[in-house]
A = this chain, B = another copy of it.
Amino acid sequence: MEKVKLGAVPYIYPIPIVLVGATVNGRANYAEVGDCALMGIRPALVCVSLGKDHHTTQGIDEHEAFSINIPTQRMLAVTDYCGIASGKDVDKSVLFEAFPGEHTGVPMIQDCPVGLECRVKEAVQIEHRRIFIAEVLECYVSAAFVTRSDRGPQIAELSRLDPILYGLDNRYYTIGAPTGTGYREGASYRNAA
């Protein structure tokens, strides 16, 4: 296939949309973030990237803690709003019912089915971006999305969680159909080779 060069474009797609929560000047604030990722299971690591002058960034730097709250499609409008409005201009603490994370007190959004309480381990600044690598201290899941199994409590199937994806084409998407199982599709490939 012939290739076209688009220049320095970080085109990773799609990206999961989350709400990053922090306490800024004593008040809960939330930012919509797509620059967010899992960085490892054991230890439980995540990272987020924010503008260095963003209101939420100030709170993370002050408390070295933040929350990652994963919204559902039903929350799309308020989530997008958190990406438009700055906590410098409006009080976003009123947008969500919140509870404090047990270890750090960071605001966790009650309506999000999954919330991660995170403590910063490393902060890396590159130009105007501030990248926080953090450990997950606790994962809070709404009881309606938890199933019990022999291996202990498990999170329900992903389609029920109805997450918001973003495509860098500036569109939001749902998750689609399951197409395979990890470590199984490749086993077939190896056997066929």
Contact = CB atoms under 8 A, between A and B. Distances in A.
Nearest to A161: B13
Interface residues of A, number: 104
Interface of A: 1-16, 18, 34-41, 43-47, 49, 68, 70, 73, 76-85, 99, 110-111, 113-116, 121-122, 124, 126-127, 129, 131, 133, 135-144, 146, 153, 155, 157-158, 161, 163-190, 192
Contact of A141 (B6, B77, B163): B6
A84 B12 contact: no
A138 B49 contact: no
B11 A13 contact: no
A24 to B, nearest CB: 20
